[in-house]
Amino acid sequence: MSSPSPVRLSKSKFVAGVQCLKRLYLEIRQPELAGDIGDEQEARLEEGQEVGRLAQTAFPGGKLVDSGPLELDAALRRTAALMANPCVPAIFEATFQHSNVLVRVDILERLPRNRWRLIEVKSSVELKDHYLYDVAVQNYVVSGCGLAVSSAAVMHLNRDYIYDGESYDPHRLFTLEDVTKAVRQLGNDVPKLLRNQRKVLTDDKPPSVAAGRQCGDPFVCEFFEHCNPGLPENHVLCLPRLSEKKKQGLLDLGIDLIRDIPVDFPLTEMQNRVAEAVRTGRTWTSHTLARGLRHLKHPMYFMDFESLYPAIPRYAGMWPYSHIPFQWSVHRQMAPDAPLEHFEFVAEDRADPRREFIHSLCRVLGRSGPIIVYNATFESQRLRDVANWFPEYANRIGNIQSRLWDLLPFIRQHVYHPEFQGSYSLKTVLPALVPALSYDHLDVADGGEAGLAWEQMVRGGVDAAERQRLKSALLAYCRQDSLAMVKVLDRLSAFATAARVRGGVA
């Protein structure tokens, strides 16, 4: 009985196998176990294709092999024909097969004396180590087909490129980093890695690989949930900043749940407060909570931003992955007994939203009073960017930045609820402290979804009814974020009042 022919591997499958042999096995043998590709991941893939097309413009006269859904044999013939034509300076998606490994080279540049440069295009802003395996397997296949590859490079976005708002200069938008030496050093490893991968694929079951760092590095594996089933509530891994040594110590004792940790087990102060809350089933609050809240005086503002960070800069003055602030929500209370007011903004078309974003925001925030945010670093960085783009707003923006009051570290320091499950995300904190509110009913439920919804609304070519639905969903989500901070702060004030009643005033 003849043995089955080896599975044909691609460069993406090879790289998956370098990350984890179990991932490779499941991709090929049990793909049905993979999780769904989310909208965000799909958008990033499409963005990567857009980056690739822009990179091609740096090689005028270059020809694309696969302008349509070519069959493999046709793509191989088309590649050979383009290589034989000396008038073609570069070939895009050049297709090669060697030792039953298939690769498509992003850019194959023709050099003098019938030599070639292999270029891998990436949508990142820096060279990353794992890219070298991607290039190395391509070099192995292309060289195996008889080509003289004299150099290899990674072409990635240049973080220092500033878009002029008119046209992209691909020679400045991208950086070419030569990786010839590193790829050649990996050259001897590629055949060995391929042999190991093929050996694994002949087995009847996937290799035994324990879940670990490789599940999310350098990519989140599509089989993450299969290999990392959900943990029970308040598992010891929910303890913040738990060292590997302490984690292993607890597991060696047969302790999986926080409630079972012995009281004499050495934990940090923060870990002890988490353990206390879980054991008692009650919210832990610090004795300095009331004192920390005394600094907040009316008028008070509760502010949330939403932004999108495309790989390719979209408006003048922007750089790769700089944020486009497209939406804000502010709840305002002028005095303790005054009604809560709400203000909001969302850009509704393809025009540059940045100036109207900051102009409308400044009108609402006034000149005094704390501006409460959740993770002030994000809002402060977006404000700094806008001040650089529009210096006429710098003084007003400086005033806003000086008034930011970050609720996230305050909660970390003063409160822990057993239902936090080790997370201080607002999406977790809100339903734990204010059970009547959550994000479950919203069509847009996180910042990533907000960016995708806004893109679809302003650039997706949708009809008026869908545009209105998306706008309503965006407004509801951002409004929920700023309102959540109002309600969480109210809850913290109630905790402080209860402590004073018990005589526990800080």
Give span(s): CATH 3.30.420.10, the chain. Answer: 290-501
Q: pLDDT tens for residues 204-228?
A: 999 999 988 999 999 999 999 999 9
> What is the model's pLDDT at position 504?
41
To the nearest 10 degrees (0 to 180), the angle between helices 354-365 and 376-389 is 120
- pTM value is 0.92
pLDDT in tens, 21-69: 999 999 999 999 999 888 888 999 999 999 999 999 999 999 999 756 6
| d(C-alpha 162, C-alpha 144), whole Å | 40
420 burial (CB, 10 Å; 0-12 / 13-18 / 19+) is buried
pLDDT number for residue 501: 67
65-69, 229-233, 372-376: the lowest-pLDDT one = 65-69
Please give the Cα distance from 153 to 140 (Å, whole number): 14
What b-and-e string marks burial along 38-56, b requiring 16 or more CB atoms within 10 Å of the CB? eeeeebeeeeeeebbebbb
- Pairing state between β 101-111 and 90-98: antiparallel
What's the pLDDT score for residue 505?
A: 39
Alpha carbons 66 and 203: distance in angstroms, whole number: 35
Are β-strands 300-308 and 324-333 bridged in parallel, bridged antiparallel, or unpaired? antiparallel
Does the structure show a pLDDT above 50 at 105? yes
Q: What pLDDT shows up at residue 37? A: 83
Per-residue confidence (pLDDT) for residue 5, from 0 to 100: 62
| Top-tier CATH class for 290-501 | alpha beta
DSSP string covering 216-252? TSSS--TTHHHHSPPPPTTBGGGSTT--HHHHHHHHH
Q: How far is CA 207 from CA 21, 23, 24, 25, 256, in A?
A: 7, 9, 10, 8, 26
Output 198 or 38, whichever has higher pLDDT. 198
| pLDDT greater than 70 at residue 506 | no
CATH fold of 9-201, please?
Lambda Exonuclease; Chain A (3.90.320)
**Segments of the chain assigned to CATH 3.90.320:** 9-201
